[in-house]
Each structure stands twice: as structure tokens, then as C-alpha cells.
Structure 1
């Protein structure tokens, strides 16, 4: 069996190396994503034969991630299939993209079912689109930004050790305003956000904030995902500050992403409001992902 262990900050270098070797565009293929959500999803990691393996879940309900690294992918998938069999659990592998399905069917003919997970599809946009917001479809975004800019006393700042506490305080206020009692998903997100703030430098994160009248009204946290794509992990703004969300989106891309081709703004997790917001930018790529399940033996 694979030797799964808790994910620690000291694992960052070798896990990121495995992601670079696979060079995938999904938002989960960056160390920050697996680290800040590890407690919530109960994710553990293992490595063998040049490959990186993730297992999420507990109590007999597990999901395995598509292995990454420079080893033999077919052999690695067989390893986690054997792992699931030894544990006596159903084999489910997440994060498989559509272009990878034909290869899996060739390697394991007739053995899998493929289930599209629309809630986990990534919204990917060109850097040019998010920088310019050109065209009729994005006219409304430009108008919201102009409304924000009508106030003279605003500024954009990169997040640094000297001002990160201002973002933490803004996030606390955002949670107090908008997270209702019993809203477990936003509470879990808040835990992940605080992990990102607490280990901002160690995780190699970058970010930006908008200030109005000297107060933080929006921020974003992000980093390079692969050779041509940036990933936005977290973005928050006060809803009553008109234009704050499109403004922080555009300003960060203008300041940090110009050497990249795409920006991955992650999934909508089935939230209808978030889905409408992400679709309103007309994604250039909707990166669908599938769960791969081993068919029951007859």
C-alpha cells in the first residue's frame, strides 16, 4: 500500500515539482490549493516511483487525485486502484480532464465510468480579456470600474508583510458581515483563507488590495499555476462598494499577470451566484473535470 501522510509545508518543493512535470491547467495542481484545504477535505499525500499521490476523505469514503510527476502514469493509476482494493473501498479518481479520458480508456478498456463534475469546472480567461475588458459584452464591467474610479481617494497596493494585517482585518469584517450562522461552506472557506494569510510568504503567494479613503475594501490572493496560467485563489470585496470586485480583478491582472496567457479563476462549487459572476466574464475555457469510477464487478 502507499504510505499516505499529512501534508506539511516542508512538502512544498517536491509536490510543486511533480505538478510542474505534469504542467496541468486545473486549479488543484498547485501546492497552495492542497495545503490550505487539507484539513477540510482530509487530504493526505504519498510519493512513489517519481509520482505524487493524493487521497481525500475518511471512514471508508475516499477519492484519489490523478497522480502527477515524471513517472509512469498508467502504473501510478494501477497503484491507487490496488490501494483502494486493499482498503476495501470504491475506487474514485477526481480531477480528470476531458482530453485525458481517451488515454484512460485505452489503458483500462471498459473498466471505468466517467462522471462530469460541473461544479468543479474551472473558469479560465485570457489575460488580455481581463486586462482590457474590451467589447460590448463587458461594457457593464467597465462601467462599474468607472464608478469606483469616480472616487478620487483610492489606491491599489501589492500585499506585503507591511500591509497584510490590513487584509486580515478586512477579511474578518467581511466574514462578520456576510457569513451567516450555519453556513458551513463559507466558514470552511474562511479557515482556508486564514491558512493562506498565515503562511503567505512560505507558500510563495502574491496578492493585491484596493483601498478607499485609507481602508481596504477588496483584496485578492494568487500565484502562477503552470507555464502559461495564473490562478486566483481568493478574492473578496465589500458588496456595498460599487465596482470593487471588477476593479480588484482587473488591477491584479494588470499588475501581476502580464507575462502569462491565461488566468484561472477556479470553480464555482455549485454556488449559483458565483456561477453567474464567473460566466458574466465569458470564460475562454471552461475546463471540465470528471470523476473516474471503477465499474462494479459483475
Structure 2
């Protein structure tokens, strides 16, 4: 299973090569955004299938970026690892800020998925040549502002910034804060984070520059090259120096945009003024981002259905099943074959009389699993559970029968009926199962209604397909 670790500045040198070659053209696929907005995104990372996998935690919910490929990366295998992680952890599978051109293949990958694409998420993408030259009538406004700026400050010049301790930067932030009139918490936070990003200039991950006029910085910019796109994280200019903003935009594109066909000036954060400004620079495209909330076939169920075999009804668990169900769940000798110790999920919580029934109820409410009570003459004698979705039309299935009812074929009968229901009524593409190699009874049960699908040192694996 994937193991994640926190994404911090200390890991930047390890992760930057992924972003350096990433061609998704979106600002979220940059090291700078992950570092600058880490207190909002809470990004953690791992590497699998030659890819960088980012797990963010936004407002308490885990969401995953689309995998970033390394030299021999396999996006499909990385997605499968994310799917398995979410299934094992009983987490919803949410892929966020997916590049629009990846969305169609993901819609085909997942049988049940909700797709969301909002206008405010889109990044503003410009041809580097357009911003570097401001050529043609459509950019006459920008040229006029720059010409006035250069008339007012004939000594104005663009300079590269490489030293985080450059005293000119310190002076710029002092001047900028004196003119900064936005009072919103997000604007103030963004300003503080922008200053923090300039402290990373000596890492070599970013390129930065400023516009000097009369010996002091009046505008600064910091960006990151990701594939063929220059992702511009920070653009600031003193309000008192009219024309400094378009001047830094043009000079930065001309001096730092080499090797990049595109400049991404990020989204507008739902700010009307920012949107107006970004549109005035005439983006060549809007970089779309898609959120995919992947569901499962259990989402269509309003309640646990009832099934009937030749001898056994399979129904929802009932409050009257509590004692029999507790005995089934607490049978350690029997449940060593179940592959799950209830104490793991219990943690420090007390074991109440309703714990197991409540857990099954909660799993179905979240559509993580469905538990069928196996009954004989109305009495609960075991259960069949459909659980651990793969989000691609498959679930794992397990079955356990109370010891006093073993040896009569009840498990085989109930398991086969539930698997058929899952495939032909629920609409799954596959049902999988496994058993410990030492558990000969389970192996015989699974072999009777499923086909073998490999083995390892611990388990025999089985599957049943439509």
C-alpha cells in the first residue's frame, strides 16, 4: 500500500525533477504552488509506478492530483495504486485539478463518476511571445503604459534576482506594504507567502527578476519552469509607479521565458479585479481543471436488498441479530481466517454491545460495503460482505459462518448467491476474493464458484467475471 510523507521544502530537490518536466500547463502541477499554499493544501507525496503521487487534504477531505510522470512513469499503474489505497483505507476516491485533456480517459476508466469543472478554477495561459513583445493593436494599451513608465523613469531596467538576502528585495517589500490597501485575510496571507517564496531563490528551483527605477525595485516577479510552461507564481508592482506592472510582465517574459512556449499566470481566485486584469493581457487559452468524484455501484442502493437461495435467506442485519452477530465477530479462533482484527478499527474506543452492528450500518451508509446476514430458519448463522471497491467495477467479497453451522455448505451457497447478485443485479464487472493458504475449507468454497487468479506466499486469489 502507498505510504505518504509530508511535502516540505526539505523534499524540494527530490520532487523538483518531476515538476521540471511536467507538461500539464496547470499551476497546481508546480513545486511552488505546493510550497506556497501548503497550509491550505496540506500536500503529502509518495512515488509509485515511476510517478509522483500527491495527496492533498483540503478542508478535511483527501483529494489526489493526477499522477506526474517520471522518465518511465505509468499513469495507469499509479492511478491503480491510488484506487487500491482508497479502497484499503475506506476513503472516497477524489481526483482534483485533473487536466482537462485527461478527463475523457478517466470518465471511461470509472463506471460511476461525477465530473465538476468550474470557471474560477481555470488558469490564464499566454503565448510567451505575446507577453514578451506586446505586438499589434490589441496590445496598444499595454505598450502605452510601458512607454509612459519609461518616460517617467528613463533609467528603468530589468534585473535578475538570485539572492534571497538582496537588500533591494527587503526595501521593495517595505515599500509595497506601505501602498498595500487590501484588507481581506486571503490577500494579506498571499502577500506574506509571496515574501516567503523569495527566500527560496538560492535553491535554483525558481527564476525571479525585478524592475529597477531610480535605484530601487518597483516591481518583482517569480516563476517556475514546468515542461514548456513558465508558471508565474508572483507578480507585484508598486501602485505609485504607473506602468511598472505591464513593464515587469513584458520584461520577465522576454528575459525568463526562454525555452517556454506558454506562460501560466494562474487563476483569478474569484477576484473580479484579478480576472479583469488577466483578461486584459489577452490569454491564448484557459487551462481547465476537472474534479472527479468517483463513486461505486453501491451508490445506487437505497437499502440492503434481500436475496434467497434454496435454503438460506440473505437480508440486512437487524437489531435482533446483535447477540448472534457479536458472537460471530468476537470468535477469534474463527476470525483469524477473516483477515481483519476488529481491535484495529476499535482503537481506544470501548467495545459496546452495538459496536459491530453500528460499524456495518455506517459502512453501508457511506456505501463502503454491504453486509448480508445469512439466515437459517430466521436465525443469523453468518454473513457475506461485499467490500473494498476498486472503483472500476469490482469489489472484494468475504463470507464467514458460525462454527456450529459449518460443514453443511451454507457458506458456499450464500457466497455464490451474493456474487451472482453483485454481477448481474448490482452490475459489477468482477468480484474477487482471497483465502489464506492454510484455510482449505475456504479454498474449496471459493473454487466451487470462482476461478483461480494467482497466489502469493500468504493467499490464494480468486475472481468471478460477468
Shift in CA distance, 100/256, structure 1 to aligned 2, threshold 3 Å: same
Give the whole-Å Cα distance in 2 for the aligned partners of 1:275 and 1:2.
Answer: 39
| Structure-1-length-normalised TM-score | 0.89
> Alignment partner of 1:220: what SS?
strand
Corresponding position: 1:212 with 2:213: yes
Map 1:41-120 → 2, pairs under 5 A: 41-57=41-57, 60-69=60-69, 70-108=72-110, 110-120=111-121
* Post-superposition CA distance 1:93-133 (Å, at most 9, x none): 1121221112112322x322211132221111112211221
Give the whole-Å Cα distance in 2 for the aligned partners of 1:158 and 1:20.
Answer: 20
Structure 1 runs, 4 residues or longer, greater than 6 Å off? none
Give the whole-Å Cα distance in 2 for the aligned partners of 1:146 and 1:163.
Answer: 31
Give the whole-Å Cα distance in 2 for the aligned partners of 1:156 and 1:194.
Answer: 19
Partner of 2:280: 280
Once the two structures are overlaid, the 10-residue window that deviates more, 256-265 or 157-166, is 157-166
Partner of 1:165: 167
| 1:74–1:107 contact (8 Å) kept in structure 2 | no
Which consecutive unaligned segments of at least 5 residues does structure 2 have? 301-466
Shift in CA distance, 180/280, structure 1 to aligned 2, threshold 3 Å: closer
Corresponding position: 1:188 with 2:185: no
Shift in CA distance, 162/276, structure 1 to aligned 2, threshold 3 Å: closer
Corresponding position: 1:35 with 2:48: no
| 2:164–2:199 contact (8 Å) kept in structure 1 | no
Partner of 1:122: 123
Shift in CA distance, 290/36, structure 1 to aligned 2, threshold 3 Å: same
Give the whole-Å Cα distance in 2 for the aligned partners of 1:291 and 1:59.
Answer: 15
| 1:158–1:208 contact (8 Å) kept in structure 2 | yes
- Measured after TM superposition, the shift of residue 40 of structure 1 is 3.1
Partner of 2:345: none
> Alignment partner of 2:34: what SS?
helix
Shift in CA distance, 105/18, structure 1 to aligned 2, threshold 3 Å: same
| Structure-2-length-normalised TM-score | 0.59
Give the whole-Å Cα distance in 2 for the aligned partners of 1:164 and 1:87.
Answer: 47
**Matched pairs, number:** 295
> Alignment partner of 1:201: what SS?
helix
Once the two structures are overlaid, the 10-residue window that deviates more, 28-37 or 161-170, is 161-170
Give the whole-Å Cα distance in 2 for the aligned partners of 1:255 and 1:58.
Answer: 36
Give the whole-Å Cα distance in 2 for the aligned partners of 1:234 and 1:140.
Answer: 22
Which consecutive unaligned segments of at least 5 residues does structure 1 have? none
| 1:115–1:292 contact (8 Å) kept in structure 2 | yes
Partner of 2:312: none
Shift in CA distance, 22/248, structure 1 to aligned 2, threshold 3 Å: closer
| 2:229–2:264 contact (8 Å) kept in structure 1 | yes
CA RMSD in angstroms comes to: 2.2
Based on CA coordinates, which of the two structures has the bigger radius of gyration?
2
Shift in CA distance, 58/24, structure 1 to aligned 2, threshold 3 Å: closer
> Alignment partner of 1:25: what SS?
coil
Give the whole-Å Cα distance in 2 for the aligned partners of 1:230 and 1:162.
Answer: 20
Q: Which has the higher contact order (CA 8 A, sep 6+)?
A: 1
| 1:94–1:292 contact (8 Å) kept in structure 2 | yes
Give the whole-Å Cα distance in 1 for the aligned partners of 2:127 and 2:24.
Answer: 16
- Measured after TM superposition, the shift of residue 139 of structure 1 is 0.9
Shift in CA distance, 91/203, structure 1 to aligned 2, threshold 3 Å: farther
